[in-house]
Amino acid sequence: MKPARKQRLLVVVFIVVIAALVVGLLSYALRENINLFYTPSQIAAGEAPSNTQIRVGGMVVVDSLQRAADSLDSSFLVSDGSATLLIHYSGILPDLFAEDEAAVATGALGDDGAFVAQQVLAKHDEEYTPPEVADAMQQAIDKKAKASSAKAAGDALNKTKSKALDSTEAGY
Amino acid sequence: MVAELGHFALILAFCLAFAQALIPLAGTLTNKPLWIGTARPLSCGQFVFVAISFGCLVTAFVQDDFSLAYVANNSNSLLPYYYKVSAVWGAHEGSLLLWALILAGWTLAVAMFSRSLPADMVARVLSVMGMIAVGFYLFMLFTSNPFERLLPFPPMDGKDLNPLLQDIGLIIHPPMLYMGYVGFSVAFSFAIAALLAGRMDSAWARWTRPWTNAAWSFLTVGIFLGSWWAYYELGWGGWWFWDPVENASLMPWLAGTALIHSLAVSEKRGLFRSWTLLLAILAFSLSLLGTFLVRSGVLTSVHAFATDPTRGVFILAFLGVVIGGSLLLFALRSSTLGATASFSWLSREAGILLNNVLLVVTLAMVLLGTLYPLVADVLGWGKISVGPPYFNFFFVPLGLLLVLAMGVGASLQWKRQGTNRLRSLVKAPLLLSPALAVLWLLLAGWSLKIAALLGLTAALWLTLITLQDVWKKSQHSHSRRVGLGRLNKSYWGMVIAHLGIAVLAIGITLTSNYSDQRDVRLVIGEHIEVAGYGFLFHSVEQVRGPNYIAQQGRFDVFVVGAEGGDGANLAIKPFTHLAPEKRRYLATGNMMTEADIDGGLFRDLYVALGEPLGDGAWSVRVYVKPYIRWIWLGAMMIALGGVIAAFDKRYRKTRVDVKQPSVSQQSEASPILAVAKKES
């Protein structure tokens, strides 16, 4: 083999070995670090693993936000129209966090069935509903055969959408 | 009226771009000098008309013409005029127009500053740029026309610009970023032109390098501004979130960084030619991908993308044509460029090979983490998000390796490095850098963390070995000053950029290891101590801005343990006040946190108001972040290095002898010596 060619072969082998290593590591790291999204209904049905980092989301239930008197601990309920989930959080809630608005939380499900969030995200702006939440609401609607509950979920979803138009709503 | 004029100018620009894409290229194929000669005038014409179109959109914004859908959705009569102007690129349609304007600007620049290039090469390059422009104009005219009217019932007032975007950082960040993205189209066009011509030599690399450097510097500034904006405007105090939007800009930067290094080898040694071309294609493809990822809404939801199928299909088709077409051309033609020379494993080119491998691996990692959730969603694997732990898991060790390799790689000689000289090269920095790192942490009074020591050692190693290299290369029989003056701009650019990486690495290491961050509940009159600073919550009062009402907090900041005072004694004089705000924008009712920062070279004091908790209590975010400014200082040095290198004398030679590029290859085996020889 010509030296130049031999060297090229070496380079190729070098790159292939590195690439294989990287792909292996990448897929390992991806498996360890992806956060799956679950809806409150899925959690109520016991589909979500506990003590593993996941994401949940839904509409914050009206009058469910409670704050501790002497710390930043707070808790609230999120709903997808058919089930609700209790979320505990310690920290500053985002600017656009509000009751009857969409929120997504990252954290883990405790053994008692409550969700402990490390991070809570709300909408970016008035018009935006996190796609996961919109989807979750839609799923809830699809699932419910009962007209009444479908109506409730439908209302909640419509409300999110109509919020965009309702710009007079007071902040605090 | 203005809007129709803008629309019409846009269509004319499209027509000229179409001609520019076809005629000069056809001229090179049929050998018609007249056709080849149309490339420059057509580029000028295209620029003029797209500039008129852009000017019309700006005018529509400034005049509050809410009969235009785009203006109505992104502006408001209460907005200050400078935000009205920047609102032009606040959303999808306008940012595409800005993209097209900048592309036309780069095209014009290539047309003007390419007198030394052979006419057929210029024709090919400008044709390829014309083709890209055609794609963008078509996209705008058919799916995202910013001049669309809301008739017959225009709204009374606009919906306002997203408050997050009402900021100086966001006035200049998108144009800078686009200058970078679009700038890579020049390198891309040069690459395609080389493939079309079947000719790629050192002269080609010499033409391409300054353009690539310039684009890369703009991109660096753009990313840095984005990170800076996120830091003070988002109210979280972070400077990088591994958000898909950020990743979209980091990916072309990584490819571009690999490209400017690989170009150096192609110029000096005539090696890595195909690889350089591939990187040029990659850098621009990723720029396109980045633009579309951010602007098409595909990131927020794959479904939003699917609900407007015309846009989605066009984007995919355009990406397919650009990436697929250029890769096909590459596959067909790259073998004709073949380089035969081999290289030693202990040489600067081998160092650059290592740099390229590391950068491309990092790039692959970021790409996978960014696109995986999209792919998973499309394939129905569930809704997934890939968090920062994944990115940090890879980026930290890869970055560390890169920094460690960077110092040695840049000090090696082209062709072959003697092992003995290598040993003398690394000895002092190898011993000094860990010692200095320990000393630094001890002097600052911080605990010795392994991660911090590693990061700091790597950064100091890079600094020392780079400075040592400058010292050695500036040796001169007369005096040091003469020796330093002999070093060329390319070299200075590299030195400054590499030192910038070291500064950046120090900033990242110290900020992420020694920041003190507290989210607390504070009642007015209470204070909190963070990392030796006391923050007294003085008051909250209401203030009015042009288009918002704000609750403005006032915090007195004092040094704990200063003369006569300890934590409990607040009688000592505060050395500064911070006034973070909680704003409510009138048009939309959106709430916004406006943090207040006392910046300094060695630490930032950061206070943001959370929300009122009742009884005069607020949730408050108080951060003390050491050395965070070094991150952006480093980024600026990197960009500056790129600019300085782009102005190297040898890129401005009036005539380049195309037929004998090998001459320069040989004489510049050691570039510094070669330059010294030329000047003496």
In A, which residues are within 8 Å of B157 by CB distance? Answer: none
Which residue matches tokens 């940090």? Answer: B392
Q: What is the pLDDT of residue B668?
A: 38
Is B541 found in the same domain as B472? no
pLDDT interval class at A140 (50, 70, 90): low
Query: Does the pLDDT of residue A101 top 70, yes or no?
Result: yes
State the sign of the Cα–Cα–Cα–Cα dihedral B593, B504, B629, B558.
positive
Q: What is the pLDDT of residue A1?
A: 56
pLDDT interval class at B629 (50, 70, 90): very high
Q: How far is CA B145 from CA A40, B73, B96, B139, B182, in A?
A: 40, 13, 9, 8, 20
> Are B568 and B602 contacting, i.e. CB atoms less than 8 angstroms apart?
no
Is B534 found in the same domain as B501? no
In A, which residues are within 8 Å of B369 by CB distance? Answer: 30
Sheet of B603-614: strand order equals: B516-523, B617-626, B603-614, B596-598
Q: What is the pLDDT of residue B305?
A: 52
Q: What is the pLDDT of residue B669?
A: 38
Classified by CATH at the fold level, domain A37-163 comes out as OB fold (Dihydrolipoamide Acetyltransferase, E2P) (2.40.50)
Q: Is A13 on the interface with B (CB under 8 A)?
A: no
| Continuous H helices in B334-418 | 348-378, 388-411
Is B501 found in the same domain as B643? yes
Which residues have CB under 8 Å from B109's CB, separation 6+?
none
Please give the residue range of the domain that contains residue B503: 418-514+629-657
Q: What is the pLDDT of residue A126?
A: 52
Q: Which carries the bigger pLDDT value, residue B418 or residue B406?
A: B406
Query: Does the pLDDT of residue B42 top 60, yes or no?
Result: yes
CA distance B243 to chain A (A): 13
Q: What is the pLDDT of residue B39?
A: 93
Which residue out of B361, B394, B520 would a mutagenesis test of the A interface target, given it has the greatest number of A Cβ atoms within 10 Å?
Answer: B361
**0.90 exceeded by pTM:** no
Is B68 found in the same domain as B26? yes
Q: Which carries the bigger pLDDT value, residue B114 or residue A22?
A: B114
Q: Cα angle at B515 between B509 and B519, to 5 degrees? A: 145
> Could you read off the pLDDT of B117-171 as tens digits, one per residue?
889 999 999 999 999 999 999 999 998 899 988 877 888 888 888 777 888 888 8
Compute the mean pLDDT over every residue in chain A, rounded to the nearest whole number. 75
Mean pLDDT of B438-462: 93
Compute the mean pLDDT over every residue in chain B, rounded to the nearest whole number. 86
In B, which residues are within 8 Å of A32 by CB distance? Answer: 389-390
In A, which residues are within 8 Å of B380 by CB distance? Answer: none
CB-based contact B589 A32, cutoff 8 Å: no
Number of structural domains in chain B: 3
Kindly report which listed range (B111-115, B301-305, B531-535) carries the lowest average pLDDT score.
Answer: B301-305
Is B151 found in the same domain as B2? yes
Q: What is the pLDDT of residue B660?
A: 40
Q: Which carries the bigger pLDDT value, residue A69 or residue B123?
A: B123
CB-based contact B390 A7, cutoff 8 Å: no
Mean pLDDT of B364-369: 89
Residue B388 has a CB neighbour count (10 Å cut-off) of 15
The tokens for B206 are 């010499």
Which residue out of B383, B401, B607, B609 would a mutagenesis test of the A interface target, given it has the greatest number of A Cβ atoms within 10 Å?
Answer: B383
The tokens for B654 are 């009036």
Q: Which residues pair with A106 in a beta bridge?
A: A55, A119
Q: Is A9 on the interface with B (CB under 8 A)?
A: no
A vs B, Cβ pairs < 8 A, gives 115
Q: What is the pLDDT of residue B338?
A: 62
Is B611 found in the same domain as B539? yes
Share of chain B above pLDDT 90, in %: 49
CA distance B415 to chain A (A): 14
Q: Is A165 on the interface with B (CB under 8 A)?
A: no
Is B70 found in the same domain as B43? yes
Mean pLDDT of A68-96: 87
CA distance B434 to chain A (A): 29
B62 found inside a domain: yes
Cα–Cα dist B608/B589, whole Å: 20
The tokens for B501 are 């990486």
Q: Cα angle at B638 between B634 and B641, to 5 degrees? A: 135
Cα–Cα dist A110/A29, whole Å: 24
Q: Is A111 on the interface with B (CB under 8 A)?
A: no
Task: Kindly state the helix (H) or strand (E) to which residue A88 belongs, with its residue range.
Answer: strand A84-90
B258 found inside a domain: no
Q: Is A161 on the interface with B (CB under 8 A)?
A: no
Mean pLDDT of B277-297: 87
- Smallest Cα–Cα separation from A117: which of A97, A91, A96, A135? A91
Kindly report which listed range (A30-39, A48-57, B235-244, B666-675) carries the lowest average pLDDT score.
Answer: B666-675
What is the residue extent of each domain of chain A?
A: 1-34, 37-163
> Are B183 and B214 contacting, i.e. CB atoms less than 8 angstroms apart?
yes
Q: What is the pLDDT of residue B104?
A: 97
Instruction: Fill in the DSSP letter of residue B164.
Output: G
CB-based contact A131 B300, cutoff 8 Å: yes
Residue B157 has a CB neighbour count (10 Å cut-off) of 13
β A53-60/A73-79 pair status: antiparallel
Is B20 found in the same domain as B58? yes
Mean pLDDT of B577-582: 91
Is B444 found in the same domain as B545? no
Query: Does the pLDDT of residue B678 top 70, yes or no?
Result: no
> Could you read off the pLDDT of B164-199 as tens digits, one per residue?
788 888 889 989 999 999 999 999 999 999 999 888
Which member of A18, A131, A170 has the closest CB to residue B361? A18
pLDDT interval class at B659 (50, 70, 90): very low
B204 found inside a domain: no
State the first-to-last Cα distance of chain A, in angstroms, to the nearest integer. 77
Which member of A71, A92, A95 has the closest CB to residue B592? A95
Q: How far is CA B639 from CA B498, B507, B509, B557, B677, in A?
A: 10, 16, 20, 35, 29
pLDDT interval class at A141 (50, 70, 90): low
Cα–Cα dist A108/B373, whole Å: 20
Which residues have CB under 8 Å from B378's CB, separation 6+?
B302
Which member of A15, A26, A96 has the closest CB to residue B357? A15
The tokens for A33 are 């670090």
Kindly report which listed range (A34-43, B119-128, B426-435) carries the lowest average pLDDT score.
Answer: A34-43
In B, which residues are within 8 Å of A67 by CB distance? Answer: 613
Give the chain B residue whose CA is nearest to the CA of A12: B357
CB-based contact B521 A70, cutoff 8 Å: yes
Is B153 found in the same domain as B9? yes
CB-based contact B387 A131, cutoff 8 Å: no
Which member of A22, A32, A167 has the closest CB to residue B364? A22
CA distance B392 to chain A (A): 10
Half-sphere exposure of B211 (CA within 13 A, CB side): 29
Q: What is the DSSP string of B169-186?
A: HHHHHHHHHHHHHHHHHH
CB-based contact B341 A36, cutoff 8 Å: no
B185 found inside a domain: no
Last residue of a domain, one of B164, B192, B212: B164
Is B653 found in the same domain as B603? no
Which residues have CB under 8 Å from B466's CB, separation 6+?
B407, B410, B411, B495, B498, B499, B502
Share of chain B above pLDDT 70, in %: 91
Give the chain A residue whose CA is nearest to the CA of B367: A26
> Could you read off the pLDDT of B545-568 as tens digits, one per residue?
888 899 999 999 988 865 544 445
Mean pLDDT of B580-593: 84
| Complex ipTM | 0.71
Q: What is the pLDDT of residue B597?
A: 92
Give the chain B residue whose CA is nearest to the CA of A20: B361
Q: What is the pLDDT of residue B114?
A: 86
Residue B461 has a CB neighbour count (10 Å cut-off) of 25
Which residue out of B385, B517, B520, B586 would a mutagenesis test of the A interface target, given it has the greatest number of A Cβ atoms within 10 Å?
Answer: B385
Residue B657 burial (10 A CB sphere; 0-12, 13-18, 19+): exposed
**Mapping DSSP to helix (H, G, I), strand (E, B) and coil, where does residue B551 land?**
strand
